[in-house]
Structures are given as structure tokens and as C-alpha cells.
Amino acid sequence: MKITIITVVRNGVGTIADCMASVGQQVYHDIEHIVIDGGSTDGTTDVIREKGKHLARFITEPDGGIYDALNKGLRLATGEVIGILHADDLFASAQVLSQVGRLLSDDATDVCYGDLLYVDRNDTSKVIRYWRSGQYGPRSFYWGWMPPHPTFFVKRTVYEKHGLFDPVMGSAADYELMLRFLLKNNVRAAYIPEVLVKMRVGGTSNASLANRLRANRNDRNAWKVNGLRPYPWTLLLKPARKIPQYFTRPE
């Protein structure tokens, strides 16, 4: 079973080599790594050309943002399973894709996900937050739950049947896609109770009150476009569920 990993990047010269090395170090044998660069001007493309000997595809051109770039990668992907590893992220171990491959070789499972560590940007051994996903249930999203998108691996047939990212959703495009797959269309999911990805701290959705309010509007729209109605407290619980992540550490 071939697994495609899509990495999108723009001006990530400080981290892209680590990201590519993380994919290259996987013990799983059948990997297709696609890198989509959004027209970097900081030397990122030079690093990719120097370090990316294992890449299946490398495209550098302007795009319409991260989700437009991800959709480019999804259209190019030929693997039976597709995962996303952003330029700031790392797989937590060399066995991650082996675990994913074993689980998704089962015809009864279409999606899998795991836990995520937020780590210091300069010292990836320093844990900032621990996102323990937990098992998915039919009402999980209604209680503010969502799986960490960087740990979300999906069979290509699911994208072909239920669609790609909707860039109009802004920062909630990954949330909307997971709502569409798991809740609206009942795609069969399995949980790997281990840390799969380390993510360097950053991101824009929570960087300011204005961004948080914008993210909340986008989250609400994600339910609306899918014809779903959240509980009155659903979108308040979603950011609130992040608070315990600062006080939890891996065992």
C-alpha cells in the first residue's frame, strides 16, 4: 500500500530540511512524498532541491494559500493513503507510517488519526502542549472535539468520493473537511493512541482575539455548509478543550 505525504511550504527555509528528513527516515518502504512550494523567496527551494532526493514531485509556483496548495498535492497523489506533513512538522518516530499502513490495510477502516505534540520551535524535544485525541464517537464533534489534522490519514478514495478542501472556509478548512468526512458521511475512522506528529508552535487562528473570532465564524460556517446544526455550546467548547493540553504530558 503506497502512502502519499503532502508537504506545503512557503518561506520555510529553517524547517523544511527537518520535515523532509522525517519522511525519509520512515521505515515504511512505499512512500510518495510531494512538496508544493508557494513561491518561496528565502532559499527554501534551494534546500528542497539539495535535500529532497527522495521526493516524488516538487512544484514551486504561486498559489491561493495553504488549502489551495494542499488541493494541488491531493490531485497529484497516487498513494492509496494520503497524509499531510507541514513544513514545520515532524513525524514522532520512524515507525509512524508503518502503523498507519497496517491499520489502513484493513478494508473496514478509511481514516485514522492519533495524538499530537506541540513543541518549541527551536528545541523540538521541549513539549508545549499535548493533544490527546481519544476515540471518536457519533456525538464527539458536538462536544467540541476534533482530531489534530496533522495526524489525519485518509484513503484516497474518500477524497475522491467526498471532495477536497474548501479554501473559502479559511482557517476552518481542515475542520470542515473532517466534519464532512466523519460526521456528515460517517467515514469509518480508527484511533492510534500514540503521538504521531510533532508540530512546532505557531499558527494564526489563535494569534489574536480578532483571529480567534474569525476562526469561530469559520467554524460555525463549517457546520452550516454541511447542513449540520451544532449544540449551542459546541463552538465554545472547541477552543476550551485546548486548555488541558497545556497541563498534560505523554506517558
Where residue 99 sits, what CATH number does that domain have?
Answer: 3.90.550.10
What stretches of the chain adopt beta strand conformation (E)? 3-9, 31-37, 57-60, 81-84, 89-91, 111-119, 127-131, 153-155, 189-200
**Is there a domain that residue 225 lies in?**
yes
**Is there a domain that residue 231 lies in?**
yes
By the 10 Å C-beta count (0-12 exposed, 13-18 middle, 19+ buried), 27 is classed as exposed
- pLDDT given at position 250: 81
**Is there a domain that residue 112 lies in?**
yes
What is the DSSP pairing of strand 89-91 with strand 111-119? unpaired
Domain count, the chain: 1
**Is there a domain that residue 150 lies in?**
yes
Place of cell 472556509: 169
- Whole-model pTM: value is 0.94
- pLDDT given at position 212: 65
Contact 90, 197 (CB under 8 A): yes
Domain that holds residue 90: 3-246
CA-CA distance, 151 to 195, in Å (whole number)?
9
**Is there a domain that residue 251 lies in?**
no
Query: Which residues touch 243 (CB under 8 Å, ≥6 apart)?
Result: none
**Eight-class DSSP state of 183:** I
- pLDDT given at position 72: 98
- pLDDT given at position 204: 47
Element holding 38 (H helix, E strand): none
**Is there a domain that residue 103 lies in?**
yes
Helix (H, G, I), strand (E, B) or coil at 46: helix
**Is there a domain that residue 228 lies in?**
yes
- pLDDT given at position 164: 98
Tell which residue, 166, 139, 126, 170, has the closest CA to residue 237.
Answer: 139
Helix axes 16-24, 44-51, angle to 10 degrees: 20
List the chain pLDDT tens, one digit each, 251 residues.
999 999 999 999 999 999 999 999 999 999 999 999 999 999 999 999 999 989 999 999 999 999 999 999 999 999 999 999 999 999 999 999 999 999 999 999 999 999 999 999 999 999 999 999 999 999 999 999 999 999 999 999 999 999 999 999 999 999 999 999 999 999 999 999 999 999 999 754 445 556 767 788 999 999 999 999 999 999 999 999 999 999 888 87
- pLDDT given at position 205: 46
Contact 104, 155 (CB under 8 A): yes
**Is there a domain that residue 44 lies in?**
yes
